[in-house]
Amino acid sequence: MNSLNFYIVDVFAESKYTGNQLAVFTNAADITSEQMQVIAKEINYSETTFLTSIEQKSGGYDVRIFTPKQELPFAGHPTLGTAYVLQREIIKHPVPKIFLNLKVGQIPVTVEYADHAVECMWMQQKAPTFHQILAAETIAEILKIQPDEIDSRFPIQEVSTGVPFIIVPLKTLETVKRIKVNQDKYFQLINTTDAKCILAFCSETYHPNNQLNVRVFCDYLGIPEDPATGSANGCLAGYLAEYSYFGKQKISVRVEQGYEIKRPSLLLLEAEKKDTAIEVYVGGKVIMVARGEFV
């Protein structure tokens, strides 16, 4: 295998060493799927991406996403982080949008600039689909909380914008902070669900400027807890609009995640229910941390 160039970025980060870490390999056209998986395991971040062509195909760049355990058809922070590296290191001039060709399809990323530098990036996710509704007692056992700590005004439901997540509405931040996943019960449940990861949220926050606090658990993918999850929060955005969580079918909110694992993150969510579909956008900042070479 020839040497491979890579970059490390922090996604959904307000400063260095916060947000969700991502490694992006920019010259991966000639390596195999097996080699990509081994490298992702070596990096051992929640995801690693591989740019398999620096030439556009159908108006977009071909990208593959791997967790330490498997390839994913879509993931949120890898989409934004890879688009950031593309703009900064490959394209090298301001463009309004960058399109990534992922397994789930082509995903557009809108780029906002300040003084010609990237300020914020937004991805439009696939329209959410809504699936199985789960019992409060079942989820309470998994999260080691009481059923009455779950907000019964809204369903516990599998939602997908490309990768499905189980969305769990909770009443208080104290409950969210206290979650400890029962591994046996968790793995029993995901044998019966399409979604393999759980997003729990509440409307109490650490910081008054934010509207929601979130935690995401993905042991099935080798990620016990994720510090910032764009795909899961896209599902959450669709859920909030579908069920008028804030009293309306259009939302624009700031979401904090990762505080319990010392990687504070900020995600920006926008969604609106229009006719039969919901438009979902997830945004945030990306910060370059390092560059290097696999030899």
| Residue 47 annotated to the active site | yes
CB 185 within 8 A of CB 177: no
Q: Which pair of tokens denotes residue 168?
A: 């769990």
Secondary element (H or E) of residue 5:
strand 4-11
**Which residues are within 8 A (CB) of 184 and not within 5 positions of it... i.e. 6 or more apart?**
none
Q: Which residues are registered as beta bridge partners of 66?
A: 48, 71
Are residues 20 and 263 in contact, defined by beta-carbon separation less than 8 angstroms?
yes
Catalytic residue, from 47, 149, 158, 225: name it.
47
Nearest in space to 71 (alpha carbons), one of 92, 93, 47: 47
- Placement of tokens 């969604």 in the chain: 271
3-state secondary structure (DSSP) of residue 87: helix
Catalytic residues: 47
